[in-house]
Amino acid sequence: MTTQNKTAGKQVAVISVEGTINPTAADYILRGIETARQKNVQALVVKLDTPGGMLKSMKKIVQAFLRDDGLPVVVYVTPEGASAASAGTFITMAANIAAMAPATNIGAASPVTMGGGEIDTVMQKKLFNYSSSFIRSIAKQRGRNIKWAVSAVRSAESVTAEEAVELNIVDFIASDMEDLLAQIDGKTIEGRTLQTKNGSVLNIEPSFAEEFLGFIMQPLVVMILTLVAIWGIMGEISNPGAVIPGIAGAIALILVLYASAALPLNTAGYILIVLAVALFVAEAFTPTFGILITGGAIAMFIGFLMLFNDLPKSMQISWEWLAGAAVLTALFFAFIGVAGLKAQFKKRPMGSEGMVGMKAIVVDSINDKSGRVLVRGEYWTAVSDEPLDVDETVIIEETEGLTVKVKKA
């Protein structure tokens, strides 16, 4: 038992973040921190290679790093040729230990618009002042080069790994993961003396939802989704009733709004689920042979992914269950909900036509020429192909004027 605990204590958790810093990347890192804490590992290593990203997502990550919760966080800019630019600079400097692989760089942290252009006038001044003060506080708390940190924001300064070590921006250069673990071994961080040399590695992989949402936030994918949204909506407007272009355009538009941060994750998820229900209901009144149901199932699945991905780990649901729930809901509407809605809104026959199929009671003996029945509190002249006696229960087969034709029930 003692040996097992000792071995587990030397374990290091590792997550890899490549690409833009966005809400999905932030959720992945926060999940990595939570998992590392639960596993009681020596430290969490974040392998980083990013051109930058969203201010809000970066701030969420930095705040998690700066929180004194007893878990040492190591940011390792890797592999060779990688960079920690823009938001990556803030994240790297916020780590308890910052390291870089050879031939990597860090810096160029000036705020820019989502399109890449410079920000104008008053907003530019506000963002630069905020970013400068934020990175200054990070550098001060971690004991790093405050002057360079501010210049990275104000003047977009960028340096190599060797220069970063000389300027006290990062702690050291590590050639690979083994070298990194050897160099941090023995350091005391967050009240813990690290024992990482020759330790085991626990790789924390992104979940399906994180991979999917991260994929749709890639610039090329956002561009394609934008085109699908435009073409789909215009196609539906120019060809009303085509259905498929409209569904594709609506789903793509919601995903574009989410990917561009115009819609929060939960809001986009709820809108997709509402869209799914609307498509399910529309299937009852539109002869699309399941196209609306299929589109609704896709929208509901993506909406579920967005909603349940951002919950605490104990409340998260695997994508297989979410897919199953979306498919079952679609099947319910296809075979039960659609029929029920059609029945609710179906025009019912009025007057004598509405009596066909109803039961009646014979009040005067009936033959093929005369007789009477009581139905709905009214007396009607009735005829039948067979003799029927008083008090017999009959069913109305058809009506003709004020006469009904009946048969035995």
Per residue in 352-406, pLDDT (tens digit) is 566 788 888 888 888 878 888 888 778 888 888 888 888 888 988 888 877 888 8
Give how many domains the chain has, as a whole number.
3
pLDDT at 6 over 50: no
**Residues 335, 164: Cα–Cα separation, whole Å:** 64
Residues 367, 290, single domain; the answer is: no
pLDDT at 7 over 50: no
**Residues 383, 389: Cα–Cα separation, whole Å:** 12
> Average pLDDT, stretch 122-142?
88
**Residues 216, 222: Cα–Cα separation, whole Å:** 6
Residues 157, 235, single domain; the answer is: no
pLDDT at 237 over 70: no
Average model confidence (pLDDT) across the chain: 81
From the candidates 47, 57, 83, 86, give the one annotated as an active-site residue. Answer: 86
> Average pLDDT, stretch 118-123?
58
Over residues 141-168, the pLDDT tens digits come to: 999 999 999 999 999 899 999 999 999 9
Sign of the four-CA dihedral 314, 316, 322, 325: positive
Q: What is the CATH number of the domain that holds 21?
A: 3.90.226.10
Q: Is 347 among the catalytic positions?
A: no
pLDDT in the model for residue 118: 45
Residues 70, 146, single domain; the answer is: yes
Residues 79, 155, single domain; the answer is: yes
Residues 37, 121, single domain; the answer is: yes
- Quick one: DSSP state of residue 50? B
Query: Considering 145, 172, 206, which residue would you say is the last residue of a domain?
Result: 206
Range of the domain at 274: 210-345
Q: What is the CATH number of the domain that holds 388?
A: 2.40.50.140
Residues 291, 355, single domain; the answer is: no
pLDDT in the model for residue 314: 42
Neighbours of 177 (CB within 10 A): 16
pLDDT at 349 over 60: no
Over residues 44-81, the pLDDT tens digits come to: 999 999 988 888 889 999 999 998 678 999 999 999 99
> Average pLDDT, stretch 99-115?
82
Residues 42, 120, single domain; the answer is: yes
> Average pLDDT, stretch 282-302?
76
Residues 183, 315, single domain; the answer is: no
Residues 54, 148, single domain; the answer is: yes
Rg (CA), the chain: 34
Q: Would you place residue 240 in the very low, low, confident or very high pLDDT band (cuts 50, 70, 90)?
A: low
Query: Considering 345, 375, 400, which residue would you say is the last residue of a domain?
Result: 345
Sign of the four-CA dihedral 148, 152, 155, 158: positive
pLDDT in the model for residue 116: 41
pLDDT in the model for residue 115: 40
Lowest mean pLDDT among 167-176, 227-236, 376-385: 227-236
From the candidates 126, 140, 342, 359, give the one annotated as an active-site residue. Answer: 126
Residues 21, 113, single domain; the answer is: yes
Q: Is 60 among the catalytic positions?
A: no
Over residues 293-306, the pLDDT tens digits come to: 888 888 888 877 76
Lowest mean pLDDT among 102-106, 196-200, 227-231, 314-318: 314-318
Q: Would you place residue 107 in the very low, low, confident or very high pLDDT band (cuts 50, 70, 90)?
A: very high
Residues 340, 218, single domain; the answer is: yes
Q: Would you place residue 5 in the very low, low, confident or very high pLDDT band (cuts 50, 70, 90)?
A: very low
pLDDT in the model for residue 303: 77
Specify which residues 203 forms β-bridges with: 14
DSSP 343-402: HHHSPPP-GGGGGTT-EEEEEE-B-SS--EEEETTEEEEEE-SS-B-TT-EEEEEEEETT
Task: Extract the tokens encoding 131.
Answer: 């970013």
Query: Considering 145, 179, 206, which residue would you say is the last residue of a domain?
Result: 206
Residues 60, 201, single domain; the answer is: yes
**Residues 375, 360: Cα–Cα separation, whole Å:** 5
Percent of the chain's residues with pLDDT above 90: 32
pLDDT in the model for residue 249: 80
